[in-house]
Amino acid sequence: MSSSSSSSSLRRLLPLLGVGVVGAAAASFAGCRLIRQRRRANPRLDYTLQQQIDELKAVYPALRDEFIQDVKEKYQFPQYALDRLKKMFDYTILGGKYYRATLVLNTVQSLAKESGADIDKVWDQALVLGWCIEILQALFLVADDIMDGSQLRRGQPCWYKQPDVQNDAINDTLILESFLFFLINRHFASHRKLIAITQLFQSVSYQTQMGQMLDLLSQPQGIKDPKLLKEFNIDVYNRIVTFKTAIYTFYLPIACGLYLLNYDSPKQLDLARTISIELGKKFQIEDDYLDCFGDPAKIGKDGTDIKDHKCSWLVVQALGRVNARQRDILDQNYGKDDKKNEQAVKQLYKELDLQSVYDKQEDESYAKVEQLITQNEKMLPRDVFMPILKKIHRREK
């Protein structure tokens, strides 16, 4: 029952009980307050991370099978092809931390608490959008692993490293994209935000592809000339991070929640994007540091930034600090696919004490983002962003 129908029923009933206008108004207010209390008591408002992941995992098989069944019914594909789709989806989409999907759910929870909205009305849609982002993440990772020549992803061999897959994985990235938009069209066909949500995913995908291009240009195919290091600076780095990481890792899931709960004015979306970019920079700096100094068993992949000649935060910091001798070490060893060269660069990083530089920026970036959140909490609730900041601060994986 809605709050308006509840109040109307109370107004019709109370005169028969001898209750006056003032009493009716008080009772009506009490009825509305009771409904708000019920909404606040909804357990979904306070689901833990594990409960969120459990709900995501519970709906995944049905979403996957919707697509496979559509292919079967529309195009009469043979069973072995349908089995291949199921295997590919499960291998590439599942097994991560589901960070982006749960961020959609966290945003919905925070906004529902703030506004008093009924979270049940948007929860299923939030689950679908969460999986759409995980699918987008999967297709980016499959493509990224091929381009980087990576060996491990999420603690197991990369999808393209499977003997019966190899370069077929390129086509799989296109299928994953089709799966994503299939789900949006299927589950938001009559939703008033269908166009906005579709355009959001298209725009984020486009921006991420451009960011990936910038990243790849730091390591042109077959060219690892020391002269390329001259192009590396903090502005180039920030541009890569903004478009390759921040927009789809933070802005996309937060924006999905904003659209579902109607916190989607241009100013609110712009603010969310600004904060998301700062979160993305902090997140990527941590990623770059862990790529070099993290434990592969914890982060689930081998570090490749040095041998791949990536424009990472560490090399940008090194370039601003080296003397002539140290610059020569960097020129001779960066971008070389050999353990000795990699160790020489890591040793240089230690000599420059970049670990201390990293520790300092961790605290400074935390303070900067927290201030930005606090200054704008009247426009977007503080609880949308602070849990993210606390979660990524000084992470180890």
pLDDT, tens digit, 9 for 90 and up, residues 345-359: 999 999 999 999 999
Q: What is the pTM of this model?
A: 0.86
To the nearest whole number, what is the mean pLDDT of the chain?
Answer: 89
Q: Does residue 9 sit in the same domain as residue 117?
A: no
How many angstroms separate the first and last alpha carbons of the chain? 45
Angle at alpha carbon of residue 350, lines to 349 and 355, rounded to 5°: 90
Cα–Cα dist 311/374, whole Å: 32
pLDDT band at 223 (very low <50, low <70, confident <90, very high): low
Q: Where are the alpha helices (DSSP H) in 248-323?
A: 252-260, 266-293, 296-299, 313-319
CA 53 to chain CA centroid, nearest Å = 14
* Full DSSP string of 309-320: T---HHHHHHHT
Asked if 382 contacts 274 with a C-beta cutoff of 8 angstroms, the reply is no
Cα–Cα dist 361/358, whole Å: 5
In a domain, 198, yes or no: no
Which amino acid would we find at residue 229?
A: L
Q: Does residue 35 sit in the same domain as residue 157?
A: no
CA 1 to chain CA centroid, nearest Å = 35
Q: Does residue 247 sit in the same domain as residue 348?
A: yes
Cα–Cα dist 29/35, whole Å: 10
What are the residues facing 156 on neighbouring strands?
153
Asked if 133 contacts 248 with a C-beta cutoff of 8 angstroms, the reply is yes
Q: Which domain holds residue 294?
A: 218-397
Alpha-carbon separation of residue 180 from 139, 197, 312 (angstroms): 10, 12, 30
In a domain, 200, yes or no: no
So what's the pLDDT on residue 218?
82
Q: Does residue 127 sit in the same domain as residue 158?
A: yes
So what's the pLDDT on residue 227?
76
Tens-digit pLDDT profile for residues 239-298? 999 999 999 999 999 999 999 999 999 999 999 999 999 999 999 999 999 999 988 777
Q: Does residue 287 sit in the same domain as residue 246?
A: yes
224 pLDDT more than 90 = no
305 pLDDT more than 80 = yes
31-40, 136-145, 334-343 — which is least confidently predicted? 31-40
Tens-digit pLDDT profile for residues 16-56? 334 444 444 444 444 444 444 445 568 999 999 999 999 99
So what's the pLDDT on residue 23?
45
Q: Does residue 1 sit in the same domain as residue 33?
A: yes
